[in-house]
Amino acid sequence: MLHALLWAIYGVITAVLAANLWHLAHGRRRSTQSFAGRVSILVPARNEERNLQRLLPSLLRQQNVDFDVLIYDDQSEDGTFAVASGTGDPRVRVLQGDPPPPGWVGKVHALYQGSRLARGDVLLFLDADTAFTDDLALARIVGRFAALPTGSVLTAIPRFRGGGGLLVSVVPYALLTSLPLPLTMRRPSPRFSALNGQCWMISRELYHAHEPHRAHPAEVLEDVRIGRFLAARGVVSHFADFQPELEVWMYDGFADAWRGFRKNAFLLMGGAVLPFAAFYGGSLLIFIIGPLLSPWFLGAVLLTKFLSDRFTRFPVWISLLAPVSFVLWSLLQLDSAGAHLRGRVMWKGRDVALLGRHPAG
């Protein structure tokens, strides 16, 4: 019975992955449209001096798009404000923000405040650790958005760079094997919808019709919650492959990645003891116990991880060490749960353990 259940699970994972890879590859061949409006790019920045030195030059080189940039300096303790305000480019506005009010996550507050000041017809929410790959990357992204049906949101899988690959590679793998992207485009469902908060685009009119950041002030996983919030209101999220256009440098190394994922791994698995226990037990069965029971199950896990890693361009050695990645994630999930339940989760000098505790489902 257990073996039959595991075969069924691995079959579903493989089918979802195959459908998503086809969908994303096919999406790159879809036509784009010209866009005559303005794009406002909103970047939350807390202690992002190094990342902005990479993002801003790549952004200001963009051609064939009318855009402005609003950077919200969220009480940074480094040279973030100096870097952001030192471009000399009139398209860049920098706001030195106040501390987030009680009950608000810093990033959510920063983006909400930025949205109040945005002038563009379209809003592009972009993390500070991203960077464009060439001078026409933004134009291609905007063209993809312009071709979507009215009332849509565009979000994406970027090219993952930086350190901590053993942990980071599991993030796109989890997305590609759990969300049936072709179905979410046809019938938006809160259960199977999400956004990638690193990069997503929405018309200003549609954004203000729903005010998603104001509706989720305390969410550490604001992108997951906002994606489901919008889907419940009939807004379709379109996932695209932006790897040729956008890179994200999430973490410098393994320790940095562990600290970063520690703040949200527990929340991704329910954010409460009982949902976490159920999700954790299922994950343990699929990615640890199953491969130990049979080399065929191990092969199924290795194959799906290999296909995901090839699509997202992680090095082959990351794929060969897939069992290590899943063991590390199992330990990380326990660490994250313990930290949240003890109320000891710090990120960029702020306590986030008491925030974002709404279940992720």
Residue 356's pLDDT is: 46
Same domain assignment for residues 50 and 91: yes
Same domain assignment for residues 112 and 231: yes
Residue 57's pLDDT is: 97
Sign for the pseudo-dihedral over CA of 39, 44, 49, 55: negative
Same domain assignment for residues 217 and 275: no
In a domain, 26, yes or no: no
Same domain assignment for residues 125 and 38: yes
Angle at the Cα of 199 (from 204 to 178), degrees rounded to 5?
115
Span 259-277, pLDDT tens digits: 999 999 999 998 899 999 9
In a domain, 181, yes or no: no
Same domain assignment for residues 99 and 148: yes
Same domain assignment for residues 211 and 261: no
236's tokens? 């379709």
The residue whose two tokens read 């940039």 is: 69
298's tokens? 């191990």
Residuewise pLDDT in 10s, the chain (361 residues): 899 999 999 999 999 999 999 999 988 887 788 888 999 999 999 999 999 999 999 999 999 999 999 999 999 999 999 999 999 999 999 999 888 998 899 999 999 999 999 999 999 999 999 999 999 999 999 999 999 999 999 999 999 999 999 999 999 999 999 999 988 777 777 777 888 999 999 999 999 999 999 999 999 889 989 999 999 999 999 999 999 999 999 999 999 999 999 999 999 998 899 999 999 999 999 999 999 999 999 999 999 999 999 999 999 999 999 999 999 999 999 999 999 998 888 777 777 765 544 443 3
DSSP string, 253-321: SHHHHHHHHHTTHHHHTTSSHHHHHHHHHHHHIIIIIHHHH-HHHHHHHHHHHHHHHHHTT--HHHHHT
Same domain assignment for residues 99 and 6: no
Same domain assignment for residues 77 and 204: yes
Q: CA-CA distance, 183 to 279, in Å (whole number)?
A: 23
Same domain assignment for residues 258 and 233: no
In a domain, 260, yes or no: yes
Instruction: State pTM to two decimals.
Output: 0.93
Per the CB < 8 A criterion, the answer to whether 138 and 39 are in contact is yes
In a domain, 176, yes or no: no
Sign for the pseudo-dihedral over CA of 192, 194, 200, 204: positive
Sign for the pseudo-dihedral over CA of 214, 83, 196, 146: positive
In a domain, 188, yes or no: no
Provide the domain limits for residue 313. 2-20+253-351
In a domain, 13, yes or no: yes
Burial of 141 (0-12, 13-18, 19+ CB in 10 A): buried
Q: Single out the residue in 214, 249, 284 at which a domain terminates.
A: 249
Residue 61's pLDDT is: 97
Q: How many domains does the chain have?
A: 2
In a domain, 28, yes or no: no
Q: Single out the residue in 220, 249, 278 at which a domain terminates.
A: 249
Residue 134's pLDDT is: 97
Give the C-alpha distances (Å, rounded to integers) separating 310 from 173, 244, 250, 306, 316.
11, 14, 19, 6, 8
Same domain assignment for residues 259 and 245: no
CATH number of the domain to which 244 belongs: 3.90.550.10
Same domain assignment for residues 84 and 233: yes
In a domain, 141, yes or no: yes
75: left (phi over 0), alpha (psi -120 to 50) or beta: left
Q: Single out the residue in 218, 233, 249 at which a domain terminates.
A: 249
Same domain assignment for residues 121 and 207: yes
